[in-house]
Amino acid sequence: MARRAERPRRGAHEVTHERDDRPDPDRLLERLRAETARASRAHFKVFFGFAPGVGKTYAMLESARRLRAAGTDVVVGVALTHGRRETEALLQGLEILPPRRVEYRGRMLEELDLDAALARRPGLLLLDDLAHTNVPGSRHKKRWQDVLEVLDAGIPVHTTLNVQHIESLNDVIAQITGVVVRETVPDAMLERADEVELVDISPEDLLSRLREGKVYLGEQAARAVQHFFHRGNLLALRELALRRTAERVNRDVLAFREEHGVESTWPTADKILVCIGPAPASARLVRSARRMAAGLRAPWIAAYVETPASTLWSDAERQRLEGHLSLAESLGATVVRLSGVNISDPLLTYARRNNVARIILGKPTRFRLFDLLRGSTVTEIVRGSGDIDVHVISGDAAPEPTARDERQGRAVISPSSPIPWPKYGWAAALIALTTGLAALADGQLGIPDVEMLYLIAVMIAAIRFGRGPSVVGAALAVLGYDFFFVAPRFTLTVGDGRYFLSFAMMFAVSLVISTLALRIREQQQDAVQREERTAALYALSRSLGSAADLAAAARVTAEHLSRAFAAGVVLLGEDGAELRVIAVHPPGTSLSPDEQGVARWVHQHGRSAGLGTDTLPGAKVVCVPIQTAASAVGVAGLIPAEPLTADQRSYLEVMIRQAAVAFDRAELAEKARQAALRVKTEELRSTLLSTVSHDLRTPIAAITGAGTMLRDDPGLPPEVTAEMVSTICEEAERLEHIVSNLLDMTRLESGAIDLRRDWVPVVELVGGALTRLRTALSDRTVTAELPEELPLISVDPVLFEQLLVNLLENATKYTPPGSPIEIVAAREEGIVSIEVRDRGPGLPPGDEERVFERFYRVASAGQPGVGLGLSICRAIARVHGGTLVAANRPGGGAVFRLTTPAAGEGPR
């Protein structure tokens, strides 16, 4: 079967496809891109053989010695000499990377030290045995994943591989040799190789080497080995290996031709689509499709159609489906998940839209009756396929455990889930109840009514309990009907032969009804699940829409992820070179240092890792990169109670993508905000400089003048000396005042103020301010009206006193000397107000708000100062959650009204 699939007949439309003599510009562009990528990526060479013992390691080491002689910095990561002297001799003089020793089940095992290899950065790393499975607990499950990481780091690698380890040939080889190989390597690895060197000897030579004991057989059972090293097997394996290599050579030739404008025999890029499901045979379908695609060098797609019936699959079936999908992915397929009421429609629609030339289907093994009821998928697809070729490939009826299942140590579960006995009981009880009801109403009901009653019961059983119970219910209904209601009653014998027809019809109608009811139920369940996911996604996007900044977006995402996957969630964002926790849910969730390591790896490599994935599967956390179009912005780490299924993981990725967009947007918004802030700060700075330079220079000039006078002129009269000294003191005080105002303003503006709130009586604040301004207020009548019932207010005592000092100072500056000042505090609805009232000239009309602007000074006043006092007052009021406004008083003068929240009754 496999061979048939490798040489498929050509589809009709391929022949009619028009050819163009000029190379397709798009393809040339793609080639150019590929060339560039290849030039920049690390060289990867595979020494390829058809069986153990052909001399791959020997060939690899020999070539490494040559390269070393030519000056390449060669390091041996892993070389399995298996004690063969000739091979060991080749290792002499090569640098060998010390292995990592791992204890596993009481044995000391040696593994590649990946981190050491990456840190060493050799010019060439030798890693024997590409198909090797790492000891559990290593970073990757497989050596080929290690190789990919090394290559990604830009380090060239040489490795060895036997043909039986190639994933797509796995089942063919199992058929030929009877030995199931569990260690497989995705075909993509061989395709990634820049060079494949076939190491070939004749099977006869190999067998004689085997007899001489020169072939290392590992710990495989002797019988299996003998079976494997059978001459016929070796011939077949050699053919496969040669053909694989030849295919590569052929492709290189074609590529060369195309590159150079030689008329191409390249077939059109018709796609192959394989439709898979949970049936064990699907694995074969996938491999067949892969071989067909490789033969045609066509891209291929593995599609799975989710229908309402999918909702009834057991966990085992789902796991198997996911296994098939990831097998297809690892073999290079594009995996698509379609959905619809049936399989054929969405599949055909997708195929048409995507220029699919061939569809591969499995041969159904189902009972015919279902096809009658539901319509055969194969028939529907063939009928609707039009000019698309449809290949129907037989599947093994017996469930074939896939290598994957065994690898992961899962029990191979039979397709059906345990029988839900209680549901059968309920179905039977329902029929019994119906029988009872019909018996009670016996006499009123005619025979057809009883039949109807049973049909309703069967339908209910179908809806409530599923297929099996409803079928049993239908059978019981027929029996009950016969026993209780059909004459002669209370026997199973039937007087009138026509009743047999009636029973058959009743049973058939029951089945049809139950099938229909079931489909409705399935569709409904399906719709509900979809609805839930859509709703969750919608909720997430809505919450993200209203998230103001990155922190809020992260918090929202963490919450939603935690709810959707019943998992602890930690979101990490990029902070320079490090990852920093930006949100967790539920609170208290955290990552251990190891788990942080997983997250870092994910961030660096842009791939998911951790629990349930192929990389670091031993971790308790599963980490998914958060990537935007521009860059990787962070990592989402989930600690679920149970490993996520691949289906859940792809749903997770959808949610993360949505979050990533929001993060991106939040970051842009943040950048825009910072840019705006910078502009504003810049403006402020220039105003500040121009204003301050004048205001600072004036007192400095006065101090310098007076100081030099005192120093240079010792014979000054005492009254002049006294005047100079007091000028110095006053001006220094003014200077200090300006500087502390500037400092206060800067601290308040930058938000660097750390409020030290405490409960303080208003009288203490007012008292403090009046005490500080004792001298300045000495010529004034200051009345303080502070009622007894004033509550304590929660403020920063130092800042709030400063606020009052500034307000009072402002009043002394802008009102005539000797005019009165009143301080009136009152408790109002939810606030405490403090008013500072004066009897000065008042504020220029319309300037009541402008007085709070920075550097604003009432033009006429001619008072010294920088115009910061009031803006500082307002800033202090605001950081306390209060307000400060100014107004003119009836009867002349200004009033500054300060309010601050009165939090309930305060403490005590």
Partner 1 sequence: MSGEGPRPTILIVDDEAQMRRFLRASLGSQGYSVIEAESAREALQLAASHNPELVVLDLGLPDRDGLDVVRELRGWSRVPIVVVSARGREDDKVAALDAGADDYLTKPFGVRELLARIRVGFRHRERGDGSPVSAVLEVGPLTIDRARHEARVRGELVHLTPIEWKLLVLLAENAGRVLTHRQIVERIWGPSSTTLAHHVRVHMAELRKKIEPDPARPGLLLTEPGVGYRMSDP
Q: Report the residue from 801, 822, 835, 838 that binds partner 1 according to the rule CB under 8 A.
A: 801
Q: What is the three-class DSSP state of 536? A: helix
> What is the distance in angstroms between the CA of the first residue and the CA of the last residue of the chain?
88
Residues 6+ apart with CB under 8 A from 540: 556, 557, 560, 655, 658, 659
Q: Report the residue from 188, 463, 770, 824 that binds partner 1 according to the rule CB under 8 A.
A: 770
Residues 6+ apart with CB under 8 A from 194: 38, 43, 44, 45
Number of H helices, E strands in the chain: 29, 25
Residue 704 engages partner 1 in binding (rule: CB under 8 A): no
Return the residues of window 655-684 that contact partner 1 according to CB under 8 A. Answer: none
Q: Report the residue from 292, 388, 584, 792 that binds partner 1 according to the rule CB under 8 A.
A: 792
> Minimum distance from CB of 767 to partner 1 (Å)?
5
Residue 484 engages partner 1 in binding (rule: CB under 8 A): no
Please, are residues 805 and 820 in contact by the beta-carbon 8 Å criterion?
no
Residues 6+ apart with CB under 8 A from 803: 872, 873, 876, 877, 884, 898
Residue 426 engages partner 1 in binding (rule: CB under 8 A): no
Supply angle C-alpha 461, 463, 467, rounded to 5.
Answer: 70
Residue 696 engages partner 1 in binding (rule: CB under 8 A): no
Residue 252 engages partner 1 in binding (rule: CB under 8 A): no
> Minimum distance from CB of 750 to partner 1 (Å)?
14
Taking the least distance from each CB to partner 1, the nearer of 406 and 736 is 736
> Minimum distance from CB of 768 to partner 1 (Å)?
4
Q: What is the three-class DSSP state of 585? A: strand
Which of the ranges 252-260, 515-523, 695-703, 797-805 carries the binding residues for partner 1, by CB under 8 A? 797-805
Taking the least distance from each CB to partner 1, the nearer of 176 and 748 is 748
- Using CB under 8 A as the binding criterion, the count of chain residues that bind partner 1 stands at 28
Render 407-463 in DSSP notation, one character per residue: HTT-----SSPPP-HHHHHHHHHHHHHHHHHHHHTBTTB-HHHHHHHHHHHHHHHHH
Residue 784 engages partner 1 in binding (rule: CB under 8 A): yes
Taking the least distance from each CB to partner 1, the nearer of 254 and 735 is 735
Q: Report the residue from 412, 675, 689, 798 that binds partner 1 according to the rule CB under 8 A.
A: 798
Residue 823 engages partner 1 in binding (rule: CB under 8 A): yes
Q: Report the residue from 539, 786, 824, 826 that binds partner 1 according to the rule CB under 8 A.
A: 786
Residue 710 engages partner 1 in binding (rule: CB under 8 A): no
What is the rounded CA–CA span in Å between residue 408 and residue 136? 11
What is the number of alpha carbons within 13 Å of residue 154 lying toward its C-beta?
5
Please, are residues 647 and 322 in contact by the beta-carbon 8 Å criterion?
yes
Supply angle C-alpha 610, 612, 614, rounded to 5.
Answer: 70
Long-range contacts for 842-849 (Cβ within 8 Å, ≥24 apart)? Answer: 842/888, 842/889, 842/892, 842/893, 842/894, 843/886, 843/887, 843/888, 843/894, 845/888, 848/885, 848/886, 848/887, 848/888, 849/886
What is the rounded CA–CA span in Å between residue 284 and residue 282? 5
Give strand ranges (E) for 149-289. 157-162, 195-198, 271-275
Taking the least distance from each CB to partner 1, the nearer of 892 and 907 is 907
Taking the least distance from each CB to partner 1, the nearer of 262 and 725 is 725
Q: Site map for partner 1, 834-873, x if CB under 8 A?
A: ----------------------------------------
Which of the ranges 463-471, 608-616, 715-723, 754-762 carries the binding residues for partner 1, by CB under 8 A? 754-762
Q: Report the residue from 508, 516, 743, 861 that binds partner 1 according to the rule CB under 8 A.
A: 743
Which amino acid is located at 765 in the chain?
L
217, burial (CB in 10 Å: exposed 0-12, middle 13-18, buried 19+): middle
Which of the ranges 278-286, 387-395, 472-480, 757-765 carries the binding residues for partner 1, by CB under 8 A? 757-765
> Minimum distance from CB of 803 to partner 1 (Å)?
11
Which of the ranges 256-264, 486-494, 796-804, 884-892 carries the binding residues for partner 1, by CB under 8 A? 796-804
Name the token pair of 517: 């009811």
Q: Report the residue from 338, 428, 763, 831 that binds partner 1 according to the rule CB under 8 A.
A: 763
Q: Which of 408, 318, 351 is nearest to 618 (CA)?
A: 408
Which of the ranges 40-48, 91-99, 239-247, 755-763 carries the binding residues for partner 1, by CB under 8 A? 755-763
Q: Report the residue from 123, 299, 705, 767 that binds partner 1 according to the rule CB under 8 A.
A: 767
Return the residues of window 284-313 that contact partner 1 according to CB under 8 A. Answer: none
Residue 707 engages partner 1 in binding (rule: CB under 8 A): no
Residue 756 engages partner 1 in binding (rule: CB under 8 A): yes
Please, are residues 742 and 872 in contact by the beta-carbon 8 Å criterion?
no
- Give me the residue label for tokens 């009123």: 444
Q: Report the residue from 740, 746, 781, 863 that binds partner 1 according to the rule CB under 8 A.
A: 740
Residue 736 engages partner 1 in binding (rule: CB under 8 A): yes
Which of the ranges 183-191, 361-369, 449-457, 737-745 carries the binding residues for partner 1, by CB under 8 A? 737-745
Residue 722 engages partner 1 in binding (rule: CB under 8 A): no
Residue 820 engages partner 1 in binding (rule: CB under 8 A): no
Residue 643 engages partner 1 in binding (rule: CB under 8 A): no
What is the rounded CA–CA span in Å between residue 5 and residue 880? 78
What is the 8-class DSSP label of residue 108? E
Residues that bind partner 1 (CB under 8 A): 732, 736, 740, 743-744, 747, 756, 758-761, 763-764, 766-768, 770-771, 782, 784, 786, 792, 796-798, 801, 823, 907
